[in-house]
Amino acid sequence: MIDLRSDTVTKPNEQMRKAMYEAEVGDDVYGEDPTVNRLEQIAAETLGKEAALFVTSGTQGNQMAGLVHCQPGQEVIMESQAHLFLYEAAALSAFAGVQIKTIDGNRGAMNPNDVEAAIRGDDIHQPETGLICIENTHNKAGGAIVPLENMEQIYQLSRKHQIPVHLDGARLFNASVAAQIPVKEFAKYTDSVQFCLSKGLGAPVGSMIAGSSEFIRKARKWRKRLGGGLRQAGVLAAPGIIALEENVKHLDEDHENAKYLADGLQNMDGIVLVNQVDTNILLIDITETKHSNENFIHLLKEHGVLAGAFGPNVIRFVTNNGITKKDIDVALTAVRKVVS
Ligand code: TLP
């Protein structure tokens, strides 16, 4: 099966499995796991932040931001198609007790004027704005890169209003590699960052959050409170180190494959490309094929290709390190058969 449902499906390679086997471990709740400590140090340095913390998932990392930065009863501003809003089971509301204020963006980027206009607080009837969240790359916008200048503008206005900024950078390294801008530059315009090791970077488990030492100190407590304090977690952190030191170098292959897929689908009957491919995600609209999402996905699967539904009549393909250019050729043939 050629699995293009997500980059979460990547499996740890041999180098990672070996590193897991050989990992030096200790009790991480005591801060004594040398491999976790090393991963956290590498992540903090790479992002240019004071400290970092290994967390179980992207969803958990994003929750840390809400829990540390916000008070119950506050409001969090984010783009209307943000993963935090659509796909995290309302965790921010459930755990941090905040409500979400969404703003429609352009390819995932919020207009800074709209963000500023959405900030609330003085009126006794209104919640205070406790946090602004940005997602880069933006998943629902098809892996779109939110421009650095846009992040800078939002950060500047956030300083004026003294509101922290959190970056859901689940795929920040994809943005960095495609835009040829170090992750540090993106992270500069944030108070906290979450990025995933277990997506395009190919580690089996985990995300990192980074920020000031004070932010991480509080996040560590929240992680424990939520039952995310792991013990000999070095076996999970070891592939994370390889993800950062080795696998980042290969993300551009995923981007090339996504563009190759887009080129192949461009002129196919009934297929409309939804997004400009910046990174590793391609969305297609299949309305004209007259297939339902379910049916389209089912037929693709019969031809050996897995894809996911991503909105009404929209199918998502995500290239990842388990996919070669040859696999893309097979996927193109499969789509051609489904639409013909
Ligand atoms: N995204 C998954 C699904 O949940 C949709 C995927 O297949 O793309 N932020 C962003 C931008 C994400 O895309 C995801 C996962 C997360 C956070 C959550 O990460 P995990 O799955 O580790 O909790």
Do 151 and 162 fall within a single domain?
A: yes
Please report, to the nearest 10 degrees, the dihedral formed by the alpha carbons of residues 82, 87, 88, 92 taken in order.
40
What's the gap in Å between 123 CA and the centre of ligand 1?
35
- Collapsed DSSP state (helix, strand, coil) of residue 2: strand
Q: For residues 235 and 266, state if they share a domain.
A: no
Q: What is the mean pLDDT of residues 229-239?
A: 97
Q: Which 8-state DSSP code applies to residue 96? A: I
Q: Which pair of tokens denotes residue 340?
A: 């013909």
Nearest-angstrom CA–CA distance, 231 and 11: 23
Q: Per residue in 154-190, pLDDT tens?
A: 999 999 999 999 999 999 999 999 999 999 999 999 9
Start-to-end CA span in the chain (Å): 21
Q: Are residues 20 and 97 in the same domain?
A: yes
Query: Looking at 214, 248, 282, which one is the last position of a domain?
Result: 248
Instruction: Please tell me if the CB atom of residue 79 comes closer than 6 angstroms to any atom of ligand 1.
Output: no
> At 289, which amino acid appears?
T
Tell me, what's the pLDDT at 283? 98
Do 215 and 259 lie in a common domain?
A: no
What is the residue type of 58? G
Distance 172 CA to ligand 1 centre (A): 12
Q: Which residue has the tokens 């180190």?
A: 241
Closest CA to 170 of 75, 71, 55: 55
- The answer on 289 and 231 residing in a single domain is no
* CATH classification of the domain holding 257: 3.90.1150.10
Block residue for tokens 């959050």: 209
Pocket flag, ligand 1, residue 59 (CB < 6 Å):
yes
Q: How much distance in Å is there from the Cα of 18 to the middle of ligand 1?
A: 26
The reply to whether 235 and 327 lie within a common domain is no
Instruction: Give which of 30, 108, 103, 147 is closest to 275, Cα–Cα.
Output: 108
Same domain for 73 and 221:
yes
Select from 55, 199, 223, 317 the residue to mutate for testing ligand 1; criterion: most ligand atoms less than 8 Å from CB: 199
| Pairwise CA distance, residues 182 & 192, whole Å | 16
Q: CATH number for the domain including 99?
A: 3.40.640.10
Given the DSSP bridges, would you call strands 308-309 and 314-318 parallel, antiparallel or unpaired? antiparallel
Question: Do residue 79 and residue 190 come from a single domain?
Answer: yes
Neighbouring CB atoms inside 10 A of 299's CB total: 17
Token digits of residue 131: 């946090």
pLDDT tens-digit map of 33-84: 999 999 999 999 999 999 999 999 999 999 999 999 999 999 999 999 999 9
Residue 121: the pLDDT is 81
Identify the CA nearest to 263 among candidates 321, 328, 319, 309. Answer: 328
Q: Which of 108, 156, 102 is nearest to 135 (CA)?
A: 108
- CB 184: neighbour CB atoms within 10 A? 13
Helix or strand holding residue 78 (H, E): strand 75-79
pLDDT recorded at residue 151? 98
Give residue for tokens 């943000």: 82
Domain edge (last residue) among 248, 264, 291: 248
Q: State the distance from the centre of ligand 1 to the C-alpha of 170, rounded, in angstroms.
A: 7
User: Whose structure tokens read 């389209």?
Assistant: 296
Residue with CA closest to ligand 1 atom 17: 58
What integer pLDDT is reported at residue 240 of this predicted model?
98
**Strand order across the beta sheet in which 99-103 lies:** 51-55, 207-211, 192-196, 165-168, 129-135, 75-79, 99-103
In the chain, % of residues over pLDDT 70: 100
Same domain, 148 and 182: yes
Q: Is the pLDDT of residue 290 over 90?
A: yes
Q: Are strands 75-79 and 51-55 parallel, antiparallel or unpaired?
A: unpaired
Same domain, 65 and 167: yes
Is residue 68 within 8 A of residue 62, CB to CB? The reply is no
Alpha carbon 276 to chain centroid distance? Answer: 18
Contact 139 CB / ligand 1 (< 6 Å) = yes
Domain of residue 123, residue span: 11-248
Retrieve residue 120's tokens. 């609330």
**Reduced to 3 DSSP states, what percent helix, strand and coil does the chain have, rounded to the nearest 5?**
45, 15, 35
For residue 122, pLDDT over 90 is answered with no
Q: What is the pLDDT of residue 312?
A: 93
The rounded mean pLDDT for the chain is: 97
Number of domains in the chain: 2
pLDDT band at 267 (very low <50, low <70, confident <90, very high): confident
Alpha carbon of 140 to ligand 1 centroid (Å): 10
Q: How far apart are CA 243 and CA 237, in angstroms?
A: 10
On whether both 241 and 255 belong to a single domain, the answer is: no
Residues 215 and 204 in one domain: yes
Choose the final residue of a domain: 248, 279, 299. 248
pTM of the model: 0.97
Q: Please give the number of the atom of ligand 1 that sits closest to the Cα of 60.
A: 23
